[in-house]
C-alpha cells in the first residue's frame, strides 16, 4: 500500500454548488475505488421498488418520509433536488461516496447530499457506495473510507483527525447498502423522538448529547435488516476486546514500519440476517455554526453474538 500526506481543501464547485471546508480530498481519480456495487444488491429487491408502500403500519411511506425531509431539522443547509444531483456529479471524483446520488431520484439525492454537506461522516463511512472492500479494511485495519484516495488511505489514518491520532472503529464496520433505504433511514431518524430529544436539547459546547439507539424496524420496517451488511473483527482468544487491542497493536506497528508482534487481524462478513433485531446508532456533535447539534454518524449496529 502506498503512503502519502493527508490533505484537505474546499470541495470542488462554483457559486451555484458551494462546498463546505475541512473535508477529505481525493487526489487522483485513477486511484479511487469504483464504489459502484449494484444498487440494492444483494437485497431481496431494490428499495426503490417499495418507496410507495406502507412499510410500517400507521406511518408514512418511505417516499413521503424522503420528500418530507427538512435539512434544517438536522442543522443542515437546505438544498433542492436538482441542485443536489448537480452537486453529486461535480463532486463525485473527489467524493466517491456520492456515486449513487448521481443516479437516484432528486428527492433521495437531496437527503444524501444534504447529509454529506454537513460536518458529519455518515455517508462517507456507512452509505450505500462504501463498497465491501472498504468495510473489510476498516474493520480489520482501521482504514477510513472517508479518505477517497487509495494512495492516502492507510492503517490508522483518519480523514478528520490530525496526523498521529488513530482512526476509531468498533468491532464492526457496517453500512446501509441501498441509497433509498439509507435516505429513508436518515429522514425518519431525524424525526424520531429519541433523536429529536437530543437535537432539540439546549446547546452547550462542553456537554454533548449522548448517542441513542433506535430499533432498525422503526426506521426501515420489519425487513429493514435485508438492506444492511458489513464485517466484524474476529475475536482473539474468544474476546472482542482483546481483538481490538491486537488490531491497534498491529496498526501501530504498520504505521511505524515495525514488524508486528501480533497476527494481522481477520474479519467475518455480516450477512443481512445478522442484522435482525439490530439498532441504528445516532451520535451527535456541534454544528458548524456553533449554535446547535447535528448528526455526526448514523449506522446499523447488529446484535452481539
pLDDT tens digits for range 161-208: 998 899 999 999 999 999 999 999 999 999 999 999 999 999 999 999
Predicted pLDDT of residue 37: 57
In a domain, 101, yes or no: yes
In a domain, 127, yes or no: yes
In a domain, 140, yes or no: yes
Nearest to 175 by CA among 138, 211, 223: 138
Domain that holds residue 65: 8-191+215-273
In a domain, 63, yes or no: yes
In a domain, 196, yes or no: no
pLDDT exceeds 90 at position 157: yes
Percent of the chain clearing pLDDT 90 (strictly above): 82
In the three-class reduction of DSSP (H, G, I as helix; E, B as strand; rest coil), residue 123 is classed as: helix
Cell for 113? 447530499
Mean of pLDDT values over 259-277:
96
pLDDT exceeds 60 at position 43: no
Q: How many domains does the chain have?
A: 1
Provide the sign of the torsion angle of the four alpha carbons 61, 176, 126, 301, taken in this order. positive
Helix (H) or strand (E) holding 224: none
In a domain, 259, yes or no: yes
Predicted pLDDT of residue 109: 98
pLDDT exceeds 90 at position 7: no
Mean of pLDDT values over 239-253:
97
Predicted pLDDT of residue 298: 98
d(CA 109, CA 104) in angstroms, rounded, equals 6
Query: Please, what is the Cα angle at 241 between 240 and 246, to 5 degrees?
Result: 95
d(CA 7, CA 17) in angstroms, rounded, equals 21
Helix (H) or strand (E) holding 84: helix 81-91
Amino acid at each position: 500500500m502506498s503512503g502519502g500526506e493527508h490533505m484537505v481543501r474546499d470541495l470542488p464547485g462554483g457559486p451555484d454548488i458551494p462546498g463546505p471546508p475541512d473535508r477529505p480530498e481525493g487526489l487522483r481519480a485513477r486511484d479511487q475505488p469504483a464504489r459502484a456495487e449494484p444498487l440494492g444488491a444483494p437485497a431481496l429487491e431494490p428499495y426503490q421498488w417499495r418507496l410507495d408502500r406502507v412499510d410500517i403500519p400507521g406511518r408514512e411511506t418511505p417516499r413521503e418520509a424522503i420528500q418530507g425531509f427538512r435539512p434544517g431539522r438536522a442543522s443542515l443547509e437546505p438544498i433542492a433536488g436538482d441542485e443536489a444531483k448537480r452537486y453529486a456529479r461535480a463532486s463525485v471524483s473527489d467524493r466517491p461516496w456520492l456515486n449513487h446520488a448521481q443516479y437516484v431520484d432528486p428527492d433521495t439525492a437531496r437527503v444524501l447530499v444534504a447529509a454529506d454537506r454537513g460536518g458529519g461522516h455518515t455517508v462517507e463511512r456507512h452509505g450505500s457506495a462504501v463498497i465491501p472492500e472498504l468495510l473489510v479494511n476498516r474493520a480489520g485495519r482501521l482504514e477510513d473510507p472517508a479518505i477517497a484516495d487509495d494512495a492516502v488511505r492507510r492503517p490508522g489514518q483518519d480523514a478528520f483527525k490530525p496526523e498521529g491520532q488513530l482512526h476509531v472503529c468498533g468491532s464492526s464496520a457496517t453500512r446501509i447498502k441501498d441509497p433509498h433505504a439509507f435516505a429513508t433511514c436518515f429522514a425518519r431518524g431525524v424525526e424520531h423522538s429519541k433523536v429529536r430529544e437530543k437535537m432539540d436539547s439546549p446547546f452547550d459546547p462542553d456537554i454533548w448529547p449522548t448517542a441513542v439507539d433506535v430499533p432498525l424496524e422503526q426506521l426501515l420496517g420489519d425487513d429493514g435488516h435485508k438492506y444492511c451488511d458489513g464485517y466484524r473483527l474476529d475475536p482473539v482468544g474468544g474476546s472482542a476486546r482483546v481483538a481490538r487491542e491486537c488490531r491497534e497493536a498491529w496498526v501501530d506497528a504498520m504505521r511505524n514500519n515495525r514488524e508486528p508482534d501480533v497476527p494481522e487481524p481477520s474479519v467475518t462478513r455480516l450477512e443481512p440476517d445478522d442484522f435482525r433485531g439490530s439498532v441504528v446508532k445516532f451520535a451527535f456533535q456541534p454544528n458548524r455554526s456553533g449554535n446547535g447539534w447535528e448528526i455526526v454518524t448514523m449506522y446499523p449496529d447488529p446484535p452481539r453474538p
